[in-house]
Amino acid sequence: MAQINATQLDDIDTLIRQENDPEKRNVLLILQSMTIGLIHVVDTIESIENKVKAKDILYTRKIEEYDTTLAKGRTIWRVLTVMYALLQAGIVGIAGYSYKTISEIRDMSYSNQIKLEMLQQDLTNTKNQAMITQQELSDMLKDHRLIDQNR
Protein backbone atom coordinates (compact mmCIF):
# COMPACT_ATOMS: atom_id res chain seq x y z
CA MET A 1 0.00 0.00 0.00
CA ALA A 2 1.17 3.44 -0.79
CA GLN A 3 1.96 5.72 2.17
CA ILE A 4 -0.98 4.52 4.34
CA ASN A 5 -0.52 1.41 6.43
CA ALA A 6 -3.03 -0.93 8.09
CA THR A 7 -2.87 0.78 11.51
CA GLN A 8 -3.86 4.09 9.94
CA LEU A 9 -6.92 2.43 8.36
CA ASP A 10 -7.72 0.89 11.72
CA ASP A 11 -7.50 4.34 13.27
CA ILE A 12 -10.00 5.63 10.70
CA ASP A 13 -12.32 2.69 11.50
CA THR A 14 -12.07 3.59 15.19
CA LEU A 15 -12.98 7.22 14.47
CA ILE A 16 -15.99 6.13 12.40
CA ARG A 17 -17.24 3.84 15.22
CA GLN A 18 -16.77 6.57 17.81
CA GLU A 19 -18.63 9.21 15.82
CA ASN A 20 -22.18 9.72 17.02
CA ASP A 21 -23.29 12.26 14.43
CA PRO A 22 -24.70 10.33 11.42
CA GLU A 23 -23.74 13.02 8.89
CA LYS A 24 -20.15 13.14 10.06
CA ARG A 25 -20.11 9.36 10.21
CA ASN A 26 -21.31 9.19 6.57
CA VAL A 27 -18.69 11.73 5.54
CA LEU A 28 -16.04 9.66 7.33
CA LEU A 29 -17.30 6.47 5.61
CA ILE A 30 -17.17 8.20 2.22
CA LEU A 31 -13.68 9.50 2.95
CA GLN A 32 -12.60 6.02 4.08
CA SER A 33 -14.03 4.50 0.90
CA MET A 34 -12.28 7.13 -1.21
CA THR A 35 -9.03 6.54 0.67
CA ILE A 36 -9.23 2.78 0.10
CA GLY A 37 -10.05 3.42 -3.59
CA LEU A 38 -7.12 5.81 -3.89
CA ILE A 39 -4.85 3.25 -2.23
CA HIS A 40 -5.92 0.66 -4.82
CA VAL A 41 -5.43 3.18 -7.64
CA VAL A 42 -1.97 4.07 -6.36
CA ASP A 43 -1.06 0.38 -5.99
CA THR A 44 -2.29 -0.27 -9.54
CA ILE A 45 -0.33 2.70 -10.87
CA GLU A 46 2.82 1.51 -9.07
CA SER A 47 2.33 -1.98 -10.50
CA ILE A 48 1.87 -0.54 -13.99
CA GLU A 49 4.90 1.69 -13.48
CA ASN A 50 7.03 -1.34 -12.53
CA LYS A 51 5.79 -3.24 -15.56
CA VAL A 52 6.47 -0.24 -17.81
CA LYS A 53 9.99 0.07 -16.37
CA ALA A 54 10.61 -3.63 -17.02
CA LYS A 55 9.28 -3.25 -20.57
CA ASP A 56 11.39 -0.13 -21.03
CA ILE A 57 14.52 -2.02 -19.98
CA LEU A 58 13.61 -4.87 -22.34
CA TYR A 59 12.82 -2.40 -25.12
CA THR A 60 16.14 -0.60 -24.57
CA ARG A 61 18.01 -3.90 -24.81
CA LYS A 62 16.14 -4.80 -27.99
CA ILE A 63 16.94 -1.39 -29.48
CA GLU A 64 20.62 -1.87 -28.61
CA GLU A 65 20.58 -5.33 -30.22
CA TYR A 66 18.83 -3.90 -33.27
CA ASP A 67 21.36 -1.07 -33.54
CA THR A 68 24.22 -3.57 -33.26
CA THR A 69 22.68 -5.79 -35.93
CA LEU A 70 22.00 -2.78 -38.13
CA ALA A 71 25.60 -1.59 -37.77
CA LYS A 72 26.85 -5.05 -38.74
CA GLY A 73 24.48 -5.07 -41.70
CA ARG A 74 25.72 -1.67 -42.85
CA THR A 75 29.32 -2.83 -42.57
CA ILE A 76 28.56 -5.98 -44.56
CA TRP A 77 26.71 -3.88 -47.15
CA ARG A 78 29.70 -1.55 -47.52
CA VAL A 79 32.10 -4.47 -47.88
CA LEU A 80 29.86 -6.10 -50.49
CA THR A 81 29.54 -2.80 -52.36
CA VAL A 82 33.33 -2.37 -52.49
CA MET A 83 33.76 -6.00 -53.57
CA TYR A 84 31.14 -5.56 -56.28
CA ALA A 85 32.83 -2.39 -57.53
CA LEU A 86 36.21 -4.14 -57.61
CA LEU A 87 34.66 -7.09 -59.43
CA GLN A 88 33.13 -4.76 -62.01
CA ALA A 89 36.43 -2.94 -62.45
CA GLY A 90 38.19 -6.27 -62.92
CA ILE A 91 35.63 -7.42 -65.48
CA VAL A 92 35.94 -4.13 -67.38
CA GLY A 93 39.75 -4.45 -67.30
CA ILE A 94 39.63 -8.04 -68.54
CA ALA A 95 37.14 -7.08 -71.25
CA GLY A 96 39.37 -4.20 -72.38
CA TYR A 97 42.46 -6.41 -72.41
CA SER A 98 40.56 -9.13 -74.28
CA TYR A 99 39.29 -6.63 -76.85
CA LYS A 100 42.81 -5.29 -77.37
CA THR A 101 44.24 -8.80 -77.70
CA ILE A 102 41.49 -9.88 -80.10
CA SER A 103 42.07 -6.73 -82.18
CA GLU A 104 45.81 -7.47 -82.34
CA ILE A 105 45.13 -11.09 -83.34
CA ARG A 106 42.64 -9.95 -85.99
CA ASP A 107 45.16 -7.41 -87.35
CA MET A 108 47.93 -10.04 -87.40
CA SER A 109 45.60 -12.52 -89.10
CA TYR A 110 44.64 -9.95 -91.72
CA SER A 111 48.31 -9.06 -92.24
CA ASN A 112 49.25 -12.74 -92.51
CA GLN A 113 46.42 -13.34 -94.95
CA ILE A 114 47.67 -10.52 -97.17
CA LYS A 115 51.23 -11.91 -96.97
CA LEU A 116 49.95 -15.40 -97.83
CA GLU A 117 48.07 -14.04 -100.84
CA MET A 118 51.22 -12.18 -101.93
CA LEU A 119 53.31 -15.35 -101.53
CA GLN A 120 50.75 -17.36 -103.48
CA GLN A 121 50.80 -14.72 -106.21
CA ASP A 122 54.63 -14.78 -106.20
CA LEU A 123 54.57 -18.59 -106.43
CA THR A 124 52.12 -18.45 -109.29
CA ASN A 125 54.30 -15.84 -111.06
CA THR A 126 57.40 -17.93 -110.43
CA LYS A 127 55.71 -21.03 -111.84
CA ASN A 128 54.62 -19.05 -114.87
CA GLN A 129 58.14 -17.71 -115.32
CA ALA A 130 59.55 -21.20 -114.89
CA MET A 131 57.16 -22.47 -117.55
CA ILE A 132 58.18 -19.70 -119.82
CA THR A 133 61.75 -20.48 -119.14
CA GLN A 134 61.20 -24.18 -119.85
CA GLN A 135 59.43 -23.27 -123.03
CA GLU A 136 62.29 -21.01 -123.98
CA LEU A 137 64.76 -23.81 -123.17
CA SER A 138 62.81 -26.22 -125.28
CA ASP A 139 62.75 -23.76 -128.09
CA MET A 140 66.41 -23.11 -127.68
CA LEU A 141 67.19 -26.82 -127.74
CA LYS A 142 65.16 -27.24 -130.85
CA ASP A 143 66.92 -24.31 -132.40
CA HIS A 144 70.24 -25.70 -131.35
CA ARG A 145 69.49 -29.14 -132.84
CA LEU A 146 68.44 -27.55 -136.02
CA ILE A 147 71.61 -25.63 -136.14
CA ASP A 148 73.59 -28.83 -135.45
CA GLN A 149 71.77 -30.71 -138.14
CA ASN A 150 72.36 -27.98 -140.60
CA ARG A 151 76.01 -27.97 -140.09
Q: Which pLDDT score is estimated for 49?
A: 95
Residue type, 52: V
Q: Where are the domains of the chain?
A: 6-150
The Cα 145–Cα 36 span in angstroms is 158
46 and 62 Cβ atoms separated by less than 8 Å: no
Which of the residue ranges 4-18, 95-109, 128-142 would you say has the lowest mean pLDDT?
Answer: 128-142
Q: Which pLDDT score is estimated for 6?
A: 66
Cα of first residue to Cα of last residue in the chain, in angstroms, is: 162
Dump pLDDT digits (tens) for 66-90: 999 999 999 999 999 999 999 999 9
The Cα 27–Cα 91 span in angstroms is 91
Count Cα neighbours of 30 within 13 Å in the Cβ-side half-sphere: 6
The Cα 136–Cα 151 span in angstroms is 22
Q: Which pLDDT score is estimated for 1?
A: 44
Average pLDDT over residues 123-142: 76
The Cα 149–Cα 147 span in angstroms is 5
Q: Can you tell me whether residue 121 is helix, strand or coil?
A: helix
19 and 25 Cβ atoms separated by less than 8 Å: yes
Dump pLDDT digits (tens) for 1-35: 446 666 777 788 888 888 888 898 888 888 888 88
